[in-house]
Amino acid sequence: EDQVTQSPEALRLQEGESSSLNCSYTVSGLRGLFWYRQDPGKGPEFLFTLYSAGEEKEKERLKATLTKKESFLHITAPKPEDSATYLCAVRSTDSWGKLQFGAGTQVVVTP
Amino acid sequence: DVKVTQSSRYLVKRTGEKVFLECVQDMDHENMFWYRQDPGLGLRLIYFSYDVKMKEKGDIPEGYSVSREKKERFSLILESASTNQTSMYLCASSLFSGAGNTIYFGEGSWLTVV
């Protein structure tokens, strides 16, 4: 069974204080690892898809990386508007088109 | 832009009522999904559909059913609502089932069963 574990559960940062979120996964065969951002009371918003170990993607202050067992979401010099819950999800070779989600990391960035 | 629209954002229903949650997508996507989201449990898949009139059970289908009569519309039905179905419900869609295909979410429907 596919498993996704995110850590930490919550992260409080000062504005400008860079940090990383972790997503560890166990799948039969990875067909994609997805990062989403979710604001309170709203649906998840797609950020990145990573397919193979060594791959990296960037968007503004966010950078996602992938190894064979985990992915990191690096937040560089965060701003208060980066406050959100960040969700990681995997699609495996035997899961058809479905995603298996982690529980998320809640990030709060204070001025 | 992909748009997934959930018609009801906030609902309060009584135990035993039949509840319909409606979802429409405007991008001619083949696949549609219903998830529920609870604190500490993340998103859990209830049902999904890969074509009109086709449906498959997800991880937690008990107490739910779905209907997909048209490609753009996917409905979640709670036959007899119970308090443990109080949750946020998220509808999603994707173009196809391929490896890189992105799943897009609606804004969510908050259901409270009293």
Q: What is the pLDDT of residues A50-72, one digit of tens each?
A: 999 999 999 999 999 999 999 99
3-state secondary structure chain B: CCCEEECCCEEEECCCCCEEEEEEECCCCCEEEEEEEECCCEEEEEEEEEECCEEEECCCCCCEEEEEEECCEEEEEECCCCHHHCEEEEEEEECCCCCCCCCEECCCEEEEEC
A49: nearest CB among B43, B97, B102: B102
* Cis preceding-peptide flag for A80 (omega within 30 of 0): no
Task: Indicate the average pLDDT of chain A.
Answer: 94
- pLDDT above 70 for B98: no
State the average pLDDT over residues B84-92.
97
Asked whether the beta carbons of residue B99 and residue A45 sit closer than 8 angstroms, the reply is no
Task: State which residue of chain B sits closest to A43, comparing Cα positions.
Answer: B107
Q: pLDDT-based confidence at B41, cuts 50/70/90?
A: confident
Question: What is the pLDDT confidence band of residue A1, given thresholds at 50, 70 and 90?
Answer: confident
| Residues B58, A28: Cα–Cα separation, whole Å | 18
Question: To the nearest whole percent, how much of chain B has pLDDT over 70?
Answer: 95
At B99, the pLDDT band (50, 70, 90 cuts) reads: low
Interface check for A103 against chain B (CB to CB < 8 A): the answer is: yes
Say what percent of chain A tops pLDDT 70.
Answer: 98
A6-27 pLDDT tens trace? 999 999 999 999 999 999 999 8
Q: Who contacts B84 (Cβ-Cβ below 8 Å, separation ≥6)?
A: none
Sign, CA torsion A78/A80/A81/A84: positive
Q: How crowded is the C-beta side of B39, counted as CA atoms within 13 Å?
A: 5
Please judge whether A42 and B107 are an interchain contact, meaning their C-beta atoms are less than 8 angstroms apart. Answer: yes
Residues in chain B with CB shorter than 8 Å from the CB of A102 are 42
Per-residue pLDDT, A16: 97
Cα gap B65→A63, rounded to integer Å: 39
**How many Å apart are CA A65 and CA A53, to the nearest integer?**
8
CA-wise closest residue to A80 among A11, A10, A14 = A14
Q: Are A37 and A69 in contact (CB under 8 A)?
A: no
Q: Per-residue pLDDT averaged across B45-68, rounded?
A: 93
Angstrom distance (rounded) from CA A15 to CA A35: 22
Q: How many residues comprise chain B?
A: 114
Of A44, A91, A103, the CB nearest to B40: A103
Extract the tokens encoding B74: 């996917």
